[in-house]
Amino acid sequence: MRAIRCALPSTMKCRCALSSPPRAGNWARWCATRCRSTSRPIRPLAHTLSSSACTIIGPASARPRLPRRPRVPCTVRCCCPHWPLCAEPLPRHWSCASLFTAGLQCAWLMSGLLSPQLVRGMLRLWSSPQALAQHPLARSHMVAAVQAEQGCDAVAALRYLIERAIELAWPHDMAEWRGRRKRMLIEAHYLRGEPLKQVSEALHLNERSARRVLGEALDDLAAAINQLEQRALETPAALRVNLAPSLAQHPLLIGREELLAQIVDRLTQPAPVVALWGMPGIGKSALLTYAANHAQVIRQFPDGVLWADLGPAQATPAELLRNWSSALGASVLDLAALGDDVRMLSGWVQRALADRRMLIVLNDVDDIARARVLLLGGPACGYLIAARRVEVAVALAPVHHVAVPLFSPQQARALLTTLAPVLAEVGAEALEPILEWCGGLPLALVLVGRYLARVTHAQQPRRLRAVLDQLRDVRGRQTLFTGAEGAPLGELGRIVQAQIAQLAPSHARALYSLAALPPRPAEFDETTVLTMLAGDVSALDALVDAGLLTCAGGWYSLHPVVRDVMWADARAAEARQIGQARLLEIAQAVAEGKSRIADFAPHERALLLAAVNTVVEEGHAAVARALALRVAPILDACGRLHMADALLTLGGSSGAQDADAVQLKACHARILARLGRLDAAKAQAEQALALAEVNAPALLPLALAAQAQVRLSSGHVAGALEACARGLALDPPAPEVKLLLLRLRGSALVNLGRYTEGADVLRQALELARAHGLLEEQARLTYALAAMARQQRRYDEAEIVAEQCLHLAQQAEMSEQEVLALTLLGIVANERGQPARAATCFAQAEPPARRLGLPYLLIFLRHAQGVSAMRQQDWSRAEAALREALAHSMTAGWSGLAGNVSIELGECLLAMGQPAQAEAVCWEGLARAEAGGYADVAALLKYVLARAAYARGEMEAARRLAEAALAQVQRSGHYRAGEIAAWAAATFG
Q: What digits encode the pLDDT tens for the residues 248-279?
A: 777 777 888 899 999 999 998 888 999 999 88
CA 550 – CA 554 distance, rounded (Å): 10
Peptide bond into 59 cis (omega under 30): no
Q: What is the DSSP string of 905-971?
A: HHHHHHHTT-HHHHHHHHHHHHHHHHHHT-HHHHHHHHHHHHHHHHHTT-HHHHHHHHHHHHHHHHH
Per residue in 283-315, pLDDT (tens digit) is 899 999 999 999 899 889 988 999 999 887 777
Instruction: Give the mean model confidence (pLDDT) for residues 516-543.
Output: 88
Instruction: Give the mean model confidence (pLDDT) for residues 91-112.
Output: 40
Architecture of domain 854-988: Alpha Horseshoe (1.25)
Q: CA–CA distance from 772 to each of 308, 434, 738 (Å)? A: 67, 40, 12
Listed range (16-30, 370-384, 930-944) with the worst mean pLDDT: 16-30
Q: How far is C-alpha 396 from the chain's CA centre?
A: 29
Confidence (pLDDT) at 803: 94
CA 882 – CA 917 distance, rounded (Å): 14
Residues 6+ apart with CB under 8 A from 577: none
Backbone angles phi, psi at 4, to 5 degrees: -120, 120
117 falls in which pLDDT band (50, 70, 90)?
A: confident
Domain ranges of the chain: 2-113, 124-239, 241-403, 409-472, 854-988
Instruction: Give the mean model confidence (pLDDT) for residues 743-749.
Output: 91
Confidence (pLDDT) at 396: 92
Task: Find the angle CA(538)-CA(541)-CA(547) to the nearest 5 degrees.
Answer: 140
pLDDT of 561 above 90: no
Confidence (pLDDT) at 656: 67
- Of the chain, the percentage scoring pLDDT greater than 90 comes to 19
Q: What is the pTM of this model?
A: 0.59
* Residue 669 near residue 710, CB atoms below 8 Å: yes
Confidence (pLDDT) at 469: 79
Instruction: Give the mean model confidence (pLDDT) for residues 614-641.
Output: 79
Confidence (pLDDT) at 386: 94
* Residue 646 near residue 627, CB atoms below 8 Å: no
pLDDT of 929 above 90: no
Task: Find the angle CA(475)-CA(478)-CA(480) to the nearest 5 degrees.
Answer: 120
75 falls in which pLDDT band (50, 70, 90)?
A: very low
CA 796 – CA 74 distance, rounded (Å): 104
Q: Which helix (H) or strand (E) holds 386?
A: strand 382-387
Instruction: Give the mean model confidence (pLDDT) for residues 555-569.
Output: 85
pLDDT of 560 above 60: yes
240 falls in which pLDDT band (50, 70, 90)?
A: low
* Residue 215 near residue 116, CB atoms below 8 Å: yes
Confidence (pLDDT) at 17: 33
pLDDT of 8 above 60: no
588 falls in which pLDDT band (50, 70, 90)?
A: confident
* Residue 779 near residue 814, CB atoms below 8 Å: yes
C-alpha dihedral, 951 to 954 to 958 to 960, nearest 10°: 180
CA 402 – CA 390 distance, rounded (Å): 9
Residue 814 has, within 13 A of its CA and on its CB side, a CA count of 28
pLDDT of 13 above 50: no
Confidence (pLDDT) at 685: 92
959 burial type by CB count under 10 A (0-12 exposed, 13-18 middle, 19+ buried)? middle
* Residue 290 near residue 228, CB atoms below 8 Å: no
Q: CA–CA distance from 640 to each of 4, 35, 851, 854, 899 (Å)? A: 95, 86, 10, 9, 27
Helix (H, G, I), strand (E, B) or coil at 8: coil
Confidence (pLDDT) at 596: 67
Q: Which of 720, 716, 759 is nearest to 973 (CA)?
A: 759
233 falls in which pLDDT band (50, 70, 90)?
A: low
Confidence (pLDDT) at 707: 92
Residue 11 has, within 13 A of its CA and on its CB side, a CA count of 6
855 falls in which pLDDT band (50, 70, 90)?
A: confident
Backbone angles phi, psi at 933, to 5 degrees: 80, 20
Backbone angles phi, psi at 456, to 5 degrees: -110, 20
Q: Which residue has the higher pLDDT, 18 or 553?
A: 553
Q: Which of 156, 169, 193, 182 is nearest to 114 (CA)?
A: 169
Listed range (131-145, 673-687, 910-924) with the worst mean pLDDT: 131-145
Average pLDDT across the chain, whole number:
79
CA 745 – CA 740 distance, rounded (Å): 9
Listed range (232-241, 492-501, 807-816) with the worst mean pLDDT: 232-241
**Which CATH number is associated with domain 241-403?**
3.40.50.300
One-letter amino acid identity for 739? L
* Residue 851 near residue 861, CB atoms below 8 Å: no
Task: Find the angle CA(625)-CA(630)-CA(631) to the nearest 5 degrees.
Answer: 85
Per residue in 966-981, pLDDT (tens digit) is 888 888 777 688 888 9
pLDDT of 102 above 60: no
* Residue 444 near residue 320, CB atoms below 8 Å: no
Q: Which of 742, 774, 740, 735 is nearest to 759 (CA)?
A: 742
* Residue 710 near residue 678, CB atoms below 8 Å: yes
pLDDT of 6 above 50: no
Q: What is the DSSP string of 562-586?
A: HHHHHHH-GGGHHHHHHHHHHHHHH
pLDDT of 12 above 70: no
Q: Which residue has the higher pLDDT, 600 or 112?
A: 600
DSSP code at position 16:
E
Residues 6+ apart with CB under 8 A from 415: 252, 254, 255, 407, 442, 445, 446, 449
CA 865 – CA 427 distance, rounded (Å): 15
Instruction: Give the mean model confidence (pLDDT) for residues 687-692.
Output: 91
Per residue in 776-830, pLDDT (tens digit) is 889 999 999 999 998 888 999 999 999 999 999 888 878 888 999 999 999 999 8
pLDDT of 96 above 60: no
Confidence (pLDDT) at 48: 30
732: left (phi over 0), alpha (psi -120 to 50) or beta: beta
* Residue 983 near residue 951, CB atoms below 8 Å: no
Task: Find the angle CA(408)-CA(410)-CA(415) to the nearest 5 degrees.
Answer: 95
Confidence (pLDDT) at 66: 37
Residues 6+ apart with CB under 8 A from 473: none
Listed range (200-204, 924-928, 968-972) with the worst mean pLDDT: 968-972
pLDDT of 93 above 70: no
Q: Which residue has the higher pLDDT, 60 or 534?
A: 534
Listed range (88-92, 543-547, 612-616) with the worst mean pLDDT: 88-92
Q: Name the pairing type of β-strands 382-387 and 359-365.
A: parallel
Task: Find the angle CA(480)-CA(483)-CA(487) to the nearest 5 degrees.
Answer: 55
Listed range (35-44, 112-121, 519-528, 741-750) with the worst mean pLDDT: 35-44
Q: Which helix (H) or strand (E) holds 31?
A: helix 24-37
pLDDT of 916 above 70: yes
- b/e map of 795-829 (b: 16 or more CB within 10 Å)? eebbbebbebbbebbeebbbbbbbbbbbbbbbbbb
746 falls in which pLDDT band (50, 70, 90)?
A: very high
pLDDT of 986 above 50: yes
Confidence (pLDDT) at 45: 30
Confidence (pLDDT) at 54: 34
Per residue in 870-893, pLDDT (tens digit) is 888 889 889 999 998 888 888 767
174 burial type by CB count under 10 A (0-12 exposed, 13-18 middle, 19+ buried)? middle
Residues 6+ apart with CB under 8 A from 221: 116, 119, 162, 165, 166, 169, 186
- Of the chain, the percentage scoring pLDDT greater than 70 comes to 84
Q: Which helix (H) or strand (E) holds 596?
A: none
* Residue 625 near residue 660, CB atoms below 8 Å: yes
Listed range (318-332, 468-482, 890-904) with the worst mean pLDDT: 468-482
